[in-house]
Structure 1
Amino acid sequence: MTTSSTTPQTETPAIPAPGRRTTPAPGVLLERFGLLILFVALIFVFAALRPETFMTAANFRSIAISQSVLAVAALALMLPLVGGRFDVSVGANLGLCSIVCAALMSRAELSLPLAVLGTLMVGGVIGALNGAIVAYLGVNSIIATLGVGTVIGGAVTAYTQGVPISTGLSPALATISTRLIAGLPVLLVIMLALAVVTWFVLTQTPFGRHLTAVGSNAAAARLTGLGVNRLVLLSFVGSGLLAAVAGVLQVGAQGNGDPTIGGLPFILPALAAVFLGATNWHPGTYNVPGTILGLFFLGTAISGLSLLGVDPWVTDVFNGGAVVLAIVFSAQLKRRRTGFLDIGN
C-alpha cells in the first residue's frame, strides 16, 4: 500500500493585471479618512447643539485665524519628526521671533521687510544651533531642544520684563488678522501657501525623500551613503525658519509682541495635530494634509466646547488627552509600518 503525500500549497496573492485599478478595502479607506469623517460629524454635532453661534461665518473665520499660526508651528514641529527627531523648542523659538519682529519695528525702527528678514535669520540660527547639538554632538533631541527652549524663554523675559511690545508696529502686519483675500483670512491663505511648500519639499524633492529615509531607519540610510547628520541639521534649520514665520504671523494675529506666548502649552494643540495627522491620510507617516486636518479638528472641537460653556480646564484636558492618544496611535502605526520605533533620538 502506497501513501501519497502532497505538499501544502501556499496561496499566492493575486497580482492585478497591468492597467487595472484596484479598489482600496473599506478598512484602508476608514484608516486614511477616518479623521475627516469624524471632523464632519463633529461639525454636525456642534451645529445641532449651538446652531445660532457655531454655524456662523464669524465663528469659522475666528477658527481659521486662531489656528493658522498654530498650523505653521505644527509644520515646524513636523520637519524634524520626519527625520526621527523632536524639536520641543519650536514654541519658545516662535515666542522669541515674535518679540524680535516687534522689537525690530518698534525699537530699531526697521521696515516690515527688514524686520521679517531679521526674524527669519534669528529663527534659522536657533534651528541650526539645535541641529548642530543633535546631529553632531549626539545629544538626545528632546533634551537638547528642551534646554535651548528654556534658555530662550529666560532671555525673552529678561529683555521684555514681561511687557508686550505694541507700539511702532507696521500697520500692514498689525492689521493682517482683519484682512481677507477672496473672502478668506489672509493668515489662512499664508498658512495654506506654506503648507503647500512644505508638502512639496517633503514629498517631491530628494531632501524630503532622504529625510524620510533617515526617519524610517537612520542606520540603513547611512549605509546607503546619505548624509544623515546634514539632513538632520537641515530639518532643524527648516523648523527654525517656520517657527520664525509663525512668530511674525503671531504678531499680526495678536497685534503685539507678547512675551508670554510660545511656551509648550501654547503649541500643545500643534503637537497633537502632528501626531494625529500621522494616524490618517498616510497612516504611519508624518504628513502635511493630515497635520492641517488634525489641527483644525482640534480647533473646531475647542471652539464648540467653548460655545457650550465648558470650564477652561476642560480644554486643557482635551488638548493633553489628544496629545497622548495621538502619540500612541501614530507610534503603533509607525511600528507596524517600519517594524521599530525611534521617536525622540
Structure 2
Amino acid sequence: MTTSSATPHSGASPAAPQQPANPAPRRRTAPAPGLALERFGLLALFVVLIVVFTVLRPDTFATGANFRSIAISQSVLAVAALALMLPLVGGRFDVSVGANLGLCSIVCAALMSRAGLPLPVAVLGTLLVGGLIGALNGAVVAYLGVNSIIATLGVGTVIGGAVTAYTQGVPISSGLSPALATISTRLVAQLPVLFVIMLVLAVVTWFLLTQTPFGRHLTAVGSNAAASRLTGLRVNRLVLLSFVGSGVLAGIAGVLQVGAQGNGDPTIGGLPFILPALAAVFLGATTWHPGTYNVPGTILGLFFLGTAISGLSLLGVQPWVTDVFNGGAVVLAIVFSAQLKRRRTGFLDIGS
C-alpha cells in the first residue's frame, strides 16, 4: 500500500505564494489628529491667548516693553523649572529647588557685599553651594532610601531657617557687582540678556537629556528603576547626579535672581515663588513629547503661564486670582501629565 503524502525530500511540495521581487515601499501614515493635538495643542492655545489679550488690551499688552518684561520676569523661573525637571526625569522630586535658589541668591550677594569677592569668584562659590545642596539631597534619596519629597522638603525647610537667621530678613543690596546688578536692563539683539542666558541653559539641558548616555540612562531609570538596575545601570549614581545637576541649576537661578531683582532677597524661594515653575514642568509633560518631561514643553508651559498672568494683571484682576491660577495650573498639569505617562508606560511612579 502506498501513501500519497509528500515528505520534505519529495518533489511534491505545496506551492508557496509568490512574493514580488521588489515589494513596494509602505507609505508613511500621517500622525493621528489626536497626537498632533497633544503635541502642539498648548502652542496653539498660547497663540490664541496672545491674540485674545492683544484684542482686549492692544495699547498695553501687545507692546515690546510688555513682552520684554515677561521675558525678564520668567527667565529665572525657567531656569528653576529646568532644575525641577532633572530629578523628575529620573522619577524623583526635588521640593527644595526654591529654597536652594533663595539660599544661592543670598550666598552670591553676601560673597560680593560682605566678603568683597569679585563676581566670577562669587558665582563659582554660589554654584558650589547649590551643587552641594543637590548632592546632599541626592545622597539622602539615592543611598539612604528616603522618599524624595520628604527628604527635600526637610532640607528646604532647614535652608529657609538658615537664610532667615543669617540675614535677619534684611535684603543684601550694597556692594554688588554692577555687571550683575544691572543685567536685567541689558539687551542682546533686542532680547533681554537674562532671556538669552536662559535659552542657552535650556539648550544645554536639552542636549544633556536627549543626546548623551547620561540623559538616556536617567530617562530609563525614571521609566522603570528596577528594570534599569537589572540591565546594569548604576541607578543610585544616576539619581545622585540628577540632584547635583538640579542644585547647580538652582545656583545659577539664584545668581540670575540677584541680577533680576538687584539684591539678595531672603524672602524669595518659597513654594509660592516656585509654583509657576512647578506647574510648567508638568504642563510641559503634556505637550511636545506628551507623557515625558521635556525641555521645549517646559519652557513653553512657563511662558504660557507667565503671559496669562501678565494679561490678567493688565485686565485688572484681583491679586488672589494669580494664586488661584497658579495653583489650579499645578493640579491640572499634574493630572494630565500623570495620565499621559500612565498611558505610555502602563504605570506611574512619581515622587519616590
> Shorter-normalised TM-score: what interval?
over 0.9
Partners of 2:203 and 2:61 in 1: how far apart? 28
User: Is 1:193 paired with 2:183?
Assistant: no
**Counterpart amino acid of residue 74 in structure 1:** A
Q: Secondary structure at the match of 1:265?
A: helix
User: Is 1:165 paired with 2:158?
Assistant: no
**Counterpart amino acid of residue 195 in structure 1:** A
User: Is 1:68 paired with 2:93?
Assistant: no
CA positional deviation for 1:21: 3.8
Match of 1:137 in 2: 144
Partners of 2:97 and 2:128 in 1: how far apart? 15
User: Is 1:291 paired with 2:295?
Assistant: no
Q: 5+ residue gaps in structure 1? A: 1-15
| 2:57 corresponds to which of 41, 46, 50 | 50
CA positional deviation for 1:23: 1.6
Partners of 2:24 and 2:99 in 1: how far apart? 53
**Counterpart amino acid of residue 232 in structure 1:** V
> How much is the aligned-residue C-alpha RMSD, in angstroms?
1.0
Give the TM-score, by structure 2 length. Answer: 0.93
Partners of 1:18 and 1:70 in 2: how far apart? 48
Partners of 2:124 and 2:237 in 1: how far apart? 24
CA positional deviation for 1:297: 0.1
User: Is 1:232 paired with 2:201?
Assistant: no
**Counterpart amino acid of residue 331 in structure 2:** V
User: Is 1:41 paired with 2:45?
Assistant: no
User: Is 1:99 paired with 2:106?
Assistant: yes
Partners of 1:193 and 1:21 in 2: how far apart? 35
- Say which one has the larger Rg: 2
**Counterpart amino acid of residue 302 in structure 2:** L
Q: 5+ residue gaps in structure 2? A: 1-22
| 2:30 corresponds to which of 16, 23, 29 | 23
Match of 2:125 in 1: 118
Q: Secondary structure at the match of 1:31?
A: helix
For these two proteins, the number of residue pairs brought into alignment is 330
| 1:328 corresponds to which of 313, 335, 341 | 335
Q: Secondary structure at the match of 1:250?
A: helix
Match of 1:266 in 2: 273
CA positional deviation for 1:25: 1.4
Q: Identity percentage over the alignment?
A: 90
User: Is 1:151 paired with 2:158?
Assistant: yes
Partners of 2:180 and 2:260 in 1: how far apart? 8
| 1:280 corresponds to which of 279, 287, 303 | 287
| 2:186 corresponds to which of 172, 176, 179 | 179
Spell out the pairing of 1:3-14 with structure 2 (5 A cutoff). none
